[in-house]
Structure 1
Amino acid sequence: MKALITKRLRNHTYPRWLQWLARIFWSVQGWKLHGKRPTIPKYLLVVAPHTTNQDFFYYLWLSVGYNIHPYFIAKKDIFNGLLGPIMRSLGGIAIDRAASADVVDQAAEEFRNAEEMVIAILPEGTRKKRPYWKSGFYYIALEGQVPMVMVSMNFKEKWIKLSEPYHLTGDQQRDLDVIRRFYSDAHGIKPENFSDIVFQERTGQNSGGQT
């Protein structure tokens, strides 16, 4: 089986001037950033809402401002053409949705074996509204034995917040209640596309969530 991650990004840092530029960008646009950059060595970054292609680039710019350089899991389509090398250099991992169950297992194993690593996931898995979130991110964190750091954006009130690291209990409903509370005031660019925070029954095919 091909390894999910072949290049370590843990020693990467953005130049200070670029971090300041990102902070200035948010300030000039009238955004407020709440929460501190996690200091723990490995965690799963859970990012929502994802209602248009545009918000992906907001999240990318956010990672610069906080000096977080995660891997991110995305459907292979966005790695086509000239965009592919750029996305990979930023930590993109192209996956085939048909092999999503393998992705969950491999990502969890990567976490267990790594001393330092961050993976970012958009758990809605699509820009269109769906009646559930993809549950793969939950099992990656649970089986990988790492906490989640949740990221929420409100494009109406212009704020972004990062949660404290949250260690899943394994009680899915209890954990989902925590997740719902955190995202209860999120507001996407197209709020009507924000998917409901519930899970389908887990089957042999899972996805950690893609763009």
Structure 2
Amino acid sequence: MHTTMFDTPILKTLLRWLSIIALKLSGWKAEGEIPKDLKKCVMIAAPHTSNWDLPFMLFIAFKLRARIYWMGKEQIFKPPFKRLMMWMGGIPVDRSKANNMVQASIDAIKTNEQLFLIVPPEGTRSKVTYWKTGFYHIAHGAGVPILMGFLDYNNKTGGIKGIFTTSGDIDADMEKIKAIYAPINAKKADQYHND
């Protein structure tokens, strides 16, 4: 995978302290922790309804010392922002093409020694009525757990809700995952449904 701000010597320490200060000044708290022996996972980022989700996610990732990569729509990777977005851990996704992102993600996880891949289950900031299952298929196919990241705007908390290991029974597993996210409050509540 490409080098990101989470790998940049000296700067990553500075960015971690700036993230801690930004969270404190905005009244946000980080909850949960990432197991020290966890090297690979698919991380849910939910709910995802606002442009503010990305900066808060990055602040919390720095606070929790998570070296993350996240998927974003290809349009935000256009020049002059492409290099910046990639350096921030972004991976461009062209949603207009029928490409196999699930298999490409599985291959990337399997061929890297360490990879935390963030996939928003809604797939977009826009209103959706159901969660997409790509994150589940990536985790199950790669044989890695799902790290359940969250942002709760009402309580100004974000972080990790726990780890979920897929069983292969997608319907039962999705019900369990959605139940964990049921009490979480999105920034734009009318756009968040975890059905």
TM-score, normalising length: structure 1: 0.82
RMSD of aligned alpha carbons: 2.1
Change (3 A) 1:120 1:100: farther
| Structure 1 spans left out of the alignment, 5+ residues | 198-211
Q: In structure 2, what is the equivalent of residue 22 of structure 1?
A: 19
**Which of 130, 133, 136 is 1:135 aligned to?**
133
Change (3 A) 1:18 1:91: closer
Question: Which secondary structure state, in structure 2, belongs to the residue aligned with residue 151 of structure 1?
Answer: strand
Q: In structure 2, what is the equivalent of residue 63 of structure 1?
A: 61
Letter in 1 for 2:44: V
Q: In structure 1, what is the equivalent of residue 7 of structure 2?
A: 12
Deviations 1:44-76 (A, max 9, x none): 111011111121221122222222221211111
Change (3 A) 1:89 1:53: same
Q: In structure 1, what is the equivalent of residue 124 of structure 2?
A: 126
In the alignment, structure 1 residue 178 sits paired with structure 2 residue 185? no
Contact 1:38-1:164 at 8 Å conserved across structures: no
Question: Which secondary structure state, in structure 1, belongs to the residue aligned with residue 76 of structure 2?
Answer: helix
Deviation larger for 141-150 or 151-160 = 151-160
Question: Which secondary structure state, in structure 1, belongs to the residue aligned with residue 104 of structure 2?
Answer: helix
Contact 2:23-2:59 at 8 Å conserved across structures: no
Letter in 1 for 2:177: I
Contact 1:38-1:165 at 8 Å conserved across structures: no
In the alignment, the residues of structure 2 paired with residue 61 and residue 178 of structure 1 have an alpha-carbon distance, to the nearest angstrom, of 27
In the alignment, the residues of structure 2 paired with residue 120 and residue 107 of structure 1 have an alpha-carbon distance, to the nearest angstrom, of 11
Change (3 A) 1:90 1:161: closer
Equivalence map 1:1-211=2 (5 Å): 5=1, 7=2, 12=7, 15-39=12-36, 40-99=38-97, 101-197=99-195
Deviations 1:19-60 (A, max 9, x none): 222122222322222101332111111101111112122112
Question: Which secondary structure state, in structure 1, belongs to the residue aligned with residue 164 of structure 2?
Answer: coil
Shift of 1:97: 1.3
Letter in 2 for 1:50: H
In the alignment, the residues of structure 2 paired with residue 71 and residue 110 of structure 1 have an alpha-carbon distance, to the nearest angstrom, of 11
Identity, in percent, stands at 28
Shift of 1:101: 4.4
Change (3 A) 1:139 1:100: farther
Number of aligned residue pairs: give it.
192
TM-score, normalising length: structure 2: 0.89
Shift of 1:86: 0.3
| Structure 2 spans left out of the alignment, 5+ residues | none
- Runs of 4 or more above 3 Å deviation: 98-101
Letter in 2 for 1:82: P
Question: Which secondary structure state, in structure 2, belongs to the residue aligned with residue 127 of structure 1?
Answer: coil
Shift of 1:163: 2.6
